[in-house]
Amino acid sequence: MTEKNDLVGLTKNRIEALTDGVFAIAMTLIVFSIKVPDLPEHPSAGELSKSLLAMWPSFLTYVISFAVLGIYWIGHHNHFCFIRRVDRKSMWINMAFLCAITLIPFSTALLARYPDQRIAVIVYGVNFILVGMTLYAHFWYAVGPGHLLDKEMEPRYRHVAQKLILSGPVASIICIVIAFWHPLIASTLFVLIPIFYIVPRSIDRQFAAVLRSIQGDS
């Protein structure tokens, strides 16, 4: 069945396909934030090991960014499970979300190179804030002014979704504040963002139950 929309020939499946492609490219590009150690030819095992150990900020930043991209990809997928149509405004809000996503490889490389610099932490944190807030803007528009769902969203799901989406930006703001005191600690604390989303919690079971309920009523 063709989904209704106010853009001729455009369905939500096209937006999801574009989003999947952008995420795939961004998740691939962030690995380039890890640079092979620049050592003299035929270095000793000790020299190479020492250089690799010194690169722990780069590896940590890569893992955090990859995990966060995976989290937002899953979040975007769950988000679109409830959307039944698209319009021009929702398309451009989604474009803003993807714009923020494509900045993550840059902010990752910046923080990987300068993990103890306050400005690098701020850029990285602001990037995560933009990603989270643009996704929230799309959610807010879909359940409110845009009326992109077949029926009114239940308050319990709206509350759970808002809490999940806004948790990332709030954590990023906390890391930015800590960066004014100790940038390296702030850089490391970004690991709490993916941990918060990945570790199973009661709110995940509540979200899954609401998702099954809404899909069953569709």
- Asked if 131 contacts 167 with a C-beta cutoff of 8 angstroms, the reply is no
Query: Is 128 within a domain?
Result: yes
- Residue 50's identity, in one-letter code, is K
- Number of structural domains found in the chain: 1
Q: Is the pTM of this model over 0.75?
A: yes
Predicted pLDDT at 43: 67
If you count them, how many residues does the chain have? Answer: 218
Return d(Cα 89, Cα 184) in angstroms, integer.
Answer: 39
Predicted pLDDT at 182: 94
Where residue 8 falls among pLDDT bands split at 50, 70, 90?
very low
- Asked if 175 contacts 120 with a C-beta cutoff of 8 angstroms, the reply is no
Query: Is 161 within a domain?
Result: yes
Query: Is 35 within a domain?
Result: yes
Predicted pLDDT at 26: 96
Distance of CA 125 to the CA centre of its chain: 11
Q: How many CA atoms lie within 13 A of 172 on its CB side?
A: 23
Query: Which pair of structure tokens corresponds to residue 52?
Result: 């690799």
Query: Is 164 within a domain?
Result: yes
Among the residue ranges 79-83, 130-134, 200-204, the one predicted with the least confidence is 200-204
- Asked if 131 contacts 101 with a C-beta cutoff of 8 angstroms, the reply is yes
Where residue 4 falls among pLDDT bands split at 50, 70, 90?
very low
Return d(Cα 146, Cα 210) in angstroms, integer.
Answer: 21
Please give the residue range of the domain that contains residue 205. Answer: 12-217
Query: Is 1 within a domain?
Result: no
Predicted pLDDT at 216: 60
**Strand partners for 86:** 5
Position with higher pLDDT, 20 vs 75: 20
Query: Is 56 within a domain?
Result: yes
